[in-house]
Structure 1
Amino acid sequence: MAARLAESEEADALLFLLEKPLDWEKLHAATENLSVLVASDDAVILGSAAKAEFSTVPLNMPDSPVYDQLAQALLESVADDLLSPGSSVVALYSGFEAGVLDSLSVVRLDEHLGRLTVRDLRKLETRVPLDTLKTAVDLAVEIGREGREGKPVGTLFVVGDHKKVLEHCHPLGFDPVKGYVLAERRLEDSKVREALKEVAQLDGAFVISAKGNVTASAQHISAPAADITLSKGLGTRHWAAAAISRATAAVAITVSESNGTVRVFQNGQVMLRIEPFRRAMKWKDFELDPPGGE
């Protein structure tokens, strides 16, 4: 049914959000000539799907609602160049009963999605490793999309050239990352990223080394802003990002508190802009009548 729907809608891909394995041979037969993506929290499912030559999308959110998992799967697919930002996707998932594929949705990403892809990030001429930059940008997008405890959050990440960046910084007060050993400050660690979401509620910027270590937080940036021109409506956080990216070889990433928009600055200019996926995928409450109308 999903394959027929994908053909009639001229969809670019089928996305399966799985909680248990499928018969991969039957899936190949049913989806011939269609692009199929398999998303799951389960490494066994992903491993067997990869061996069956399906593209896989790892998730790490087993306790999240299905619409959050599906949104993340689509975001990761775009970020990893498995889908283009304008793709149309037929998604299959367990909407009612756990472990049972009982729901179909057609999602047109150009109506919902704005996020950087790896290809976009490669356009930046920077010494910051792509993995570090992508992790920082993805974290900024999550903060812009989710906020914290239902409230919008704005923040600033300065990535790379950290020694020179710190010459233009001074702490606004208590620095929550100060005193932690290096292993407890690595951006690649999911626990560290979750902690940074909490710290982002404080004023000030994060300084991150090119290797992905969080060097400092809650920092005031005082780099010179001469000869910098920004669009009207951008506040002090964006001016600070432009200034520090002009004064150093760092890449600055801002999250706007007003609308969650993420901007990437280099050499004093906005190089990329991302409009986060703000829970745009919403399903209406289903009204089900029990068998027999009782």
Structure 2
Amino acid sequence: MSGVEAVLLFSPNSSHYRRFAEADPDEDLLVVAPNNTVDAETYVELPLEFDNVRDRIRFGIEGALERGLVEDEDIVACSVRIFDGDPDGVVRVRVTESMRSGIYDLFANSRAEPGVIRDVFEVAIELGKKGQKGKPVGALFVVGDAGKVMNKSRPLSYNPFEKSHVHVGDPIVNVMLKEFSRLDGAFVVSDSGKIASAYRYLEPAAEGVDIPKGLGARHMAGAAITRDTNATAIVLSESDGLVRAFKRGGLVLEIDPEEY
């Protein structure tokens, strides 16, 4: 395809991939999909299937940027599925460094399942939009590596999820999470989405944790626990209403629920 540095094929079937590969053997083809079912030489994992085509393209390009497969100012062609069936549209996009949002790393390289992180984000964003009975509320969710997180924290109160096997993403459970968010402590969620606990006091020391100025104890605790474990912390700020994600002791993503 003339005038582009690479072609990104989003979830192609074998015949679609072969058609592009045979049309120009020298073309840089990148397959972006949940699995590399076409045995492409260059592959970017798409851990979530985005319904929104724009989000799908941005996510795929960010993954290609993270892997060094495309560069700033490259022009790429994205073959995507807009309607049902095979990919049926091609979109030209100029790659920019501003596309490095942190979202790809968060979903593709976290210990917890991507769908679990998405479900927790949706709970936090919904809380950020509506609050608790119309009032702003803060919340802290620690996702993944739950056993180690539990060992580095202590209960503040009775754990309502101690003998349950409920998972984030269930509409009824999400209502429970929103209700419990008005009380102190963190929620601990396993890799698979099982809610291990509520009301946990996180004990890792804050030394060596670098978070933006103005963020409080909830953010510091979330950042610190991700420094000492393989968890991801998702924090809703009561003061500014933003949702932030922390990994490896640092801030990796910031979202305004009103713009989501």
1:216 counterpart residue number: 197
The verdict on how the C-alpha distance between 1:80 and 1:245 changes in structure 2, with shifts beyond 3 A counting, is farther
- What residue is the counterpart of 2:137 in the other structure? 153
Residues 121, 134 of structure 1: 8 Å contact kept: no
The residue type equivalent to 2:223 in the other structure is A
Question: Contact 1:221/1:240 (CA < 8 Å) preserved in 2?
Answer: yes
**Match among 98, 105, 130 for residue 123 of structure 1:** 105
Matched residue of 1:123: which SS?
helix
Contact kept, 8 Å, 1:175 with 1:217, in 2: the verdict is yes
User: Contact 1:122/1:130 (CA < 8 Å) preserved in 2?
Assistant: no
Give the deviation of 1:251 after TM superposition. 0.2
Q: Say if 2:155 and 2:201, in contact at 8 Å, map to a contact too.
A: yes
Kept in 2, the 8 Å contact 1:203–1:218? The answer is: yes
What secondary structure sits across from 1:271 in the alignment? Answer: strand
- Structure 1 equivalent of residue 212 of structure 2: 231
Q: Which residue is equivalent to 2:126? A: 142
Q: Are 2:223 and 1:242 equivalent residues in the alignment?
A: yes
Match of 1:81 in 2: 52
Report the 3-state secondary structure (helix = DSSP H, G, I; strand = E; otherwise coil) of the residue aligned with 1:142. Answer: helix
TM-score (norm 2): 0.60
Letter in 2 for 1:82: V
The answer for the alignment partner of 2:247 in structure 1 is 266
Shift of 1:232: 1.2
Show the 5 A alignment for 1:59-78.
Answer: none
Distance 1:79 1:147 in 2: 26
Select 2:238's aligned residue among 231, 252, 257. Answer: 257
Whether 1:176 aligns to 2:160 is yes
Structure 2 residue matching 1:263: 3-state secondary structure = strand
Match of 2:148 among 150, 156, 164: 164
**1:179 & 1:156 partners in 2: Cα distance?**
21
- 2:102–2:252: 8 Å Cα contact kept in structure 1? no
Cα displacement string for residues 42-90 of structure 1 (whole angstroms, at most 9, x for unaligned residues):
xxxxxxxxxxxxxxxxxxxxxxxxxxxxxxxxxxxx96433459xxxxx
Work out the CA distance in 2 between the residues paired with 1:120 and 1:232. Answer: 20
State the alpha-carbon separation in 1 of the partners of residues 219 and 236 from structure 2.
9
Q: Which structure 2 segments of 5+ residues have no match?
A: 1-48, 57-98
On the 8 A contact 2:143/2:231 being kept in 1, the answer is yes
Given candidates 143, 163, 169, the residue that maps to 1:188 is 169
Specify the code of the residue in structure 1 equivalent to 2:114.
L
Does the C-alpha gap of structure 1 residues 123 and 165 become closer, same or farther in structure 2, counting only changes over 3 Å? Answer: same
Q: Which moved more, 1:264-273 or 1:167-176?
A: 167-176
8 Å CA contact 1:144, 1:259 repeated in 2? no
Q: For the structure 1 residues 243 and 123, does the alpha-carbon distance in structure 2 shift closer, same or farther, using more than 3 Å as the test?
A: same
Identity of aligned residues (%): 38
Asked whether the 8 Å contact 1:129–1:210 carries over to 2, the reply is yes
Cα distance, 1:236–1:80 mapped onto 2, change above 3 Å: farther
Displacement of 1:152 in angstroms is: 0.8
Cα distance in structure 2, aligned partners of 1:80 and 1:270: 27
> 2:178 — aligned with what?
197
Q: Deviations over 1:166-200 (max 9, x none)?
A: 011111113222332x1xx1112110011110000
Query: TM-score, with normalisation over the residues of structure 1?
Result: 0.53
Q: Deviations over 1:84-129 (max 9, x none)?
A: 59xxxxxxxxxxxxxxxxxxxxxxxxxxxxxxx9x95332221211
Structure 1 Cα separation of the partners of residues 51 and 144 of structure 2? 22
Question: 1:162/1:84 Cα in 2 relative to 1: closer, same or farther (>3 Å)?
Answer: closer
Rg larger for: 1
> Per the alignment, in what secondary structure is the counterpart of residue 178 of structure 1?
coil
Match of 1:42 in 2: none
Q: CA deviation at 1:229?
A: 1.3
Aligned residue identity for 2:242: T
C-alpha separation in 1, matches of 2:53 and 2:186: 32
